[in-house]
Amino acid sequence: MKSQSWLWSLIAVLVLAGGSYGVFVLLGEEPLPRGIVYGNGHIEGREVRIAAEVAGRVVEHSLAEGSKVLAGDTVAVIDPADARDRLRSARAELAAAREARDAFDSQIATWRHHLMTAEKQLQRVRDLRSRNLASASDLDQAENAVREAQGRLQSLQRQRDAAEEQVAARAAQVALAESQLEKAEVTAPMSGTILIRAVETGEVVDAGQPLATMVNLEQLELKVYVPGDIVTRISLGDPARIRVDGLSRDLSAKVGRIDDFAQFTPRDVHMPDERVRMVYGVTLVPDNPAGALKPGMPADAWIRWDPGTGWPATLPVPSR
């Protein structure tokens, strides 16, 4: 009886062990095929801040979060009244400077005529003096007239040059005022989607103050980290797949960039056996035509570095 009891106990243990192994096989993690490596990270985008280039009050804007804008679209308007006043003042000063310069041009033309007349008179007096028909005093007066005309011309030319510099300076002020008036209309620096609005109509902003943050949702990236012994097998353009919560299907992607230098595994990689490894960053460029991906989304990714390996029916996420 004791031997039978022992036998039944042994059978029960074997059955229990076999059942446990079967459950483990059924529910256990399916390993990735050779030629595919897993990574995770967060979807990132190139964020650009839209800033005011002039100070003033925001009189209108179209910075709705989630709205799409095209490069060059007007997204906000700073009150242009002060800029218009500065432009009118600069244009008036430019007109006055041109008038002063033109006045010197008129005087220069007059004194050039006087100089020509004085030089002709000097030549006649010299001819008469050579025949003793003119006195030394007459010659001195003719020479003085030429010197006076030359001096006046030189003085007027210097004043005219200074007036021309004033015209250039006033023209630069007009150009600056026109530029400031144009900058009162804040335009989108690129095509993309408004992520964050940082201003409301009626607020007074300073030059350089950010009004909004935008991102191009068609140029998002996902950076994952792979061990050094794998990164040497990955090439630019290798296919990848990305999975984010809330989407019913995985998205296709490709390897767009591979870091040249290794680093310790970043904090946001949670697999214990990878935390102390030296890894390389691999940037994936996903297809996002419908704008389903958003910056900040956590994502899982699989990179197929061996073209001879087929994609499995399901892509498992390794246990953490």
pLDDT at 218: 78
pLDDT at 3: 52
**Residue 222 within any structural domain of the chain:** no
Q: Check whether residue 178 and residue 95 sit in a common domain.
A: yes
Three-class SS string for the chain?
CHHHHHHHHHHHHHHHHHHHHHHHHHHCCCCCCCCEEEEEEEEECCEEEEECCCCEEEEEECCCCCCEECCCCEEEEECCHHHHHHHHHHHHHHHHHHHHHHHHHHHHHHHHHHHHHHHHHHHHHHHHHHCCCCCHHHHHHHHHHHHHHHHHHHHHHHHHHHHHHHHHHHHHHHHHHHHHHHHCEEECCCCEEEEEECCCCCCEECCCCEEEEEECCCCCEEEEEEEHHHHCCCCCCCEEEEEECCCCCCEEEEEEEECCCCEECCCCCCCHHHCCCEEEEEEEEECCCCCCCCCCCEEEEEEECCCCCCCCCCCCCCCC
Average pLDDT over residues 217-238: 89
Residue 229 lies in a domain: no
For 279-310, write each residue's pLDDT tens digit: 889 999 998 767 788 888 899 999 999 998 88
Determine, yes or no, domain membership for 316. Answer: no
Residue 77 pLDDT greater than 90, yes or no = yes
175 shares a domain with 91: yes
- Look at residue 210 and tell me whether its pLDDT is greater than 90: yes
Domain edge (last residue) among 133, 168, 183: 183
9 band by pLDDT with thresholds 50, 70 and 90: low
Quote the pLDDT of residue 26. Answer: 41
Is residue 147 domain-shared with residue 178, that is, in the same domain? yes
Per-residue pLDDT band for 57 (boundaries 50, 70, 90) equals very high
Q: Can you tell me the mean pLDDT for 197-221?
A: 91
Query: Do 94 and 167 have their domain in common?
Result: yes
- Mean local confidence (pLDDT), 258-263: 83
Considering its fold, how many domains does the chain have in total?
2
In a domain, 105, yes or no: yes
**What CATH number is associated with residue 160?**
1.10.287.620
| 116/138 same-domain check | yes
Indicate whether 205 belongs to any domain.
yes
| 72 and 59 part of one domain | yes
Residue 208 lies in a domain: yes
Which domain CATH number covers 193? 2.40.50.100
Is 275 within a domain? no
Whole-structure pTM value: 0.59
Residues 101 and 147 both lie in one domain: yes
Whole domain around residue 97: which residue ranges? 81-183
Same structural domain, 146 and 102 = yes
Mean pLDDT of 101-114: 93
Query: Is 239 part of any domain?
Result: no
pLDDT class of 152 with cuts at 50, 70, 90: very high
- The mean pLDDT of the chain is 85
